[in-house]
Amino acid sequence: MERIPTLVIGGSGYVAGELLRLIALHPHLELAAAISDSKPGERIGAAFPHLATAYPEAVFGSLADAERRIASLPVSAVLAAGPHGVSAALIDRLLAAAAAAGTRPRVVDISADYRFADPLAYQTVYGHAHGAPARVAEFSCAVPEHLATLATPHVAHPGCFSTAMLLAIVPLLQLSLVEPEFFVSAVTGSTGSGRAPTDGTHHPRRHSDLYSYGALAHRHAPEVVGVARAITGRTADLNFVPHSGPFARGIHATTQARLLKSISAADFTAALRDFYAGQPFVRVLESAPRLKDVLTSNFAELAVSTNGRTVAVMSVLDNLTKGAAGGAVQWANRMFGWPETTGLLAPAPGWT
């Protein structure tokens, strides 16, 4: 059975922990190194006790370790979950080491660093220069369901909020059903803010509370507009209000738009089902989707409501899985020619 050595970058964060969990269950991915500059030499099982049985002896390595490993592996997968603004330069170093050694890694970046086709657009949104602008053309950015053919050697997976929005917005634009202006309200769990405690993620502050942040100014909005334009060829306006929810995992997003013509909810549901036909991880329902039906899985669920003038598409997914690590593994499956569902078909537990 084919096994691809896999390097995980940003190894001690929540997304990297989810990557490590999925790699442990995957029949073709084999952990070659987990890189964490903050915890080199520490056991993976100490940082992630729930993974101790999967990696009883494995320890985190340094970036120098990763450069040596990638130069020694003829073919490898790199799943990068480094921080925004850091990941681009780290990936550039690894790809440079691989090029010097004549090896061929394939990269999936989960940070924001390669989501923009224009480094200046990235700089405008994130407030600092891109870490490796010459590499941008080597990456495509899309959710796997929206890009049938990958024309670049590497890929950037959209963010978790972005994935939830794009699953609704791209078919609405592609099918020419709505005016190209969207209003999105979405709620995310605390793991979406990363592992380091902050005032917004600390449990006593977040528990039993709900509040918005970055209203109409969140950096994911221009990312979504750019990705949607690249996929559909259409420019849209996006009005996005994110919220912090009192739970750890999951995203619930409601996307609204004005209809170009009156269409029933049943016909709209049928159109979405046709659009996602053959896409195993997107389920279009007749009733409202619920987070507990998808948490810890790579599945996303959508449902539609309409009053004849406006349509609302509700989407739910797990931010760490479908919105990050699971989407990255889904891309890796595509890159290496395996069935897209490989290692990702575990259902949600339902009672999280």
What does the alpha-carbon distance between residue 308 and residue 208 come to, in Å, rounded to a whole number?
Answer: 35
Set 136, 160, 165, 332: catalytic member: 160
Element (DSSP H or E) covering residue 251:
strand 251-258
160 catalytic residue (yes or no): yes
Where does residue 279 rank: exposed (0-12), middle (13-18), buried (19+ CB within 10 A)? Answer: middle
Residue type at 85? Answer: G
DSSP states of 265-320 as a string? Answer: HHHHHHHHHHHTTT-TTEEE-SS---GGGTTTSS-EEEEEEE-SSEEEEEEEE-TT
**Under 8 Å CB-to-CB from 277, ≥6 apart: which residues?**
none
The token duo for 48 is 């992630």
Residues in the chain: 352
State the Cα torsion 171-172-173-179 to the nearest 10°.
180
Residues 223, 158: contact at Cβ < 8 Å? yes
What does the alpha-carbon distance between residue 102 and residue 211 come to, in Å, rounded to a whole number?
Answer: 50
The token duo for 110 is 């989960």
Residues 89, 131: contact at Cβ < 8 Å? yes
**Under 8 Å CB-to-CB from 127, ≥6 apart: which residues?**
none
**Under 8 Å CB-to-CB from 193, ≥6 apart: which residues?**
200, 201, 244
Catalytic residues: 160
